[in-house]
């Protein structure tokens, strides 16, 4: 966890909502100079902050509507920081909680150097990252639709469908599987959604790839040199990382990707692990998938996994392989070098 420790003449904490803002401004002595609710509109916020531009830092909690405040501060050359929602939730303990108190606490955290920082994602890449995450959600819903078709087949004790519903011709065959017209209509609804998803997702994937070639063309090509990392995994890793230079060490990068577990210890006693879900879930998924795909059709990698399994279970061996891939990706992007499999498997 990193804290914001820079000093400013004024500190502004905003309790952010979709329609309102509760703004609190403190000076260096902790005196409240402004504490009021306003509408969530750039003109109203500029009217308040304009006397302090160049002397103030604005901090908000990371929630769904922080984008416009970040862009607003960047446009008007105002220092902006984003608070990690999980850590701020742990700090914001109290018997009474409301917008007025929360905004004051945020300002106090900034002034005291205890404001937990989250990464302020760059504006030019933000929309593409959101589209990629949206695609992931739709693909998972498509998998649920395919599972529903398989479950319906089992429900009526019919032979398993030996087809891949990813293909258009396979989806056409399913439309004549059931004799009952109501059941068939239920499955046809799944097929119609899958047809729509396949058409629209191909357009979205093409657009995302073109954006990646403009935003980070070198990183994208380097990621594609890793066996097991295809187009979608490369795009996911690229856009979830953003700027690799924001990670000082490979340990911090691995922790952000949820590739390591942290021990919970106190008074010399170990209480297992904690914080396993703190970090980026999308990167955890990407490297876990990459580890499995890296083994496919790769005898050298499979032999390496067998060596790992002599010291641990298969699940832990796959996690260790994912961790190793994450470390390799960090140094590849840091030094702008392609993947070296001989060096990777030599350790």
What pLDDT, in 10s, does the model give residues 93-112?
777 889 999 999 999 999 99
The H or E element spanning position 123 is: helix 123-155
- pLDDT of residue 90 exceeding 70: no
Can you tell me the distance from the alpha carbon of 35 to that of 101, in angstroms, rounded to the nearest whole number?
A: 10
What Cα–Cα distance (Å) separates residue 69 from each residue in 42, 63, 119? Answer: 8, 11, 14
Q: Which residue has the higher pLDDT, 159 or 130?
A: 130
Residue 272 pLDDT > 90, yes or no?
A: no
57 has a pLDDT exceeding 90? yes
Q: What does the pLDDT average to over 162-173? A: 86
Helices 281-295 and 314-335: crossing angle in degrees, nearest 10, is 110
- Give the mean pLDDT of the chain: 93
Instruction: Give the burial class of 197: count Cβ atoms within 10 A of its Cβ; 0-12 exposed, 13-18 middle, 19 or more buried.
Output: middle
φ, ψ at 118 (rounded to 5°) = -115, 160
- CA 336 – CA 100 distance, rounded (Å): 48
Q: Are 103 and 35 in contact (CB under 8 A)?
A: yes
pLDDT on residue 347: 64
Lowest mean pLDDT among 123-132, 135-144, 260-269, 329-338: 260-269
The predicted structure's pLDDT at residue 127: 96
Average pLDDT over residues 30-59: 96
The C-alpha atoms of residue 208 and residue 136 are separated, in whole angstroms, by 12
Local confidence band at 11 (pLDDT 50, 70, 90 cut-offs): very high
State mean pLDDT over 294-299: 95
Q: Does the pLDDT at position 73 exceed 70?
A: yes
Confidence of residue 89 (pLDDT cuts 50, 70, 90): confident
Helices and strands (H, E) in the chain, number of each type: 14, 9
Percent of the chain with pLDDT over 70: 99
- The angle at the Cα of 87, spanning 83 to 92, to the nearest 5 degrees, equals 90
The answer to whether residues 21 and 39 touch, using CB atoms and an 8 Å cutoff, is: yes
Please tell me the CATH superfamily of domain 3-118, with its number.
Answer: ATPase, nucleotide binding domain (3.30.420.40)
Strand partners, 83: 61, 117
CB atoms under 10 Å from CB of 80, counted, come to: 18
Q: Lowest mean pLDDT of 145-149, 156-160, 196-200, name the range.
A: 156-160
Q: pTM of this prediction?
A: 0.90
Q: Which helix (H) or strand (E) holds 13?
A: strand 10-16
Say if residues 114 and 101 touch (Cβ distance below 8 Å): no
Whether residue 194 is predicted with pLDDT greater than 80 in this model: the reply is yes
């Amino acid at each position: 966890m990193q804290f914001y420790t820079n000093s400013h003449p004024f500190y502004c904490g905003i309790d952010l909502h979709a329609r309102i803002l509760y703004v609190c401004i403190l000076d260096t002595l902790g005196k409240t100079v402004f504490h009021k609710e306003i509408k969530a509109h750039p003109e109203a916020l500029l009217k308040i902050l304009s006397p302090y531009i160049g002397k103030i830092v604005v901090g908000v909690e990371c929630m769904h509507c922080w984008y416009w405040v970040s862009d607003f501060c960047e446009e008007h050359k105002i220092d902006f920081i984003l608070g990690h929602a999980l850590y701020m939730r742990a700090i914001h303990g109290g018997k009474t909680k409301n917008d007025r108190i929360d905004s004051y606490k945020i300002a106090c955290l900034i002034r005291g150097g205890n404001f937990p920082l989250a990464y302020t994602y760059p504006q030019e890449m933000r929309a593409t990252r959101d589209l990629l995450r949206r695609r992931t959600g739709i693909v998972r819903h498509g998998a649920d639709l395919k599972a529903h078709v398989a479950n319906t087949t089992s429900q009526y004790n019919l032979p398993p469908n030996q087809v891949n519903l990813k293909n258009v011709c396979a989806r056409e065959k399913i439309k004549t599987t059931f004799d009952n017209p109501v059941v068939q209509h239920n499955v046809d609804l799944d097929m119609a959604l899958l047809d729509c998803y396949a058409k629209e997702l191909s357009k979205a994937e093409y657009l995302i790839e073109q954006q990646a070639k403009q935003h980070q063309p070198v990183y994208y090509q380097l990621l594609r040199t890793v066996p097991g990392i295809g187009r979608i995994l490369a795009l996911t890793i690229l856009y979830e990382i953003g700027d690799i230079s924001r990670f000082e060490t490979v340990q911090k990068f691995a922790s952000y990707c949820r590739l390591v577990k942290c021990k919970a210890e106190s008074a010399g006693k170990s209480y297992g692990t904690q914080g396993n879900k703190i970090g980026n879930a999308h990167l955890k998924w990407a490297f876990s998938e990459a580890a499995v795909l890296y083994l496919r059709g790769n005898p050298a990698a499979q032999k390496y996994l067998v060596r790992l399994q002599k010291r641990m279970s298969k699940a832990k061996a796959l996690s260790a392989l994912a961790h190793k891939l994450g470390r390799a990706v960090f140094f590849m992007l840091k030094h702008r070098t392609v993947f070296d499999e001989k060096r990777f498997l030599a350790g």
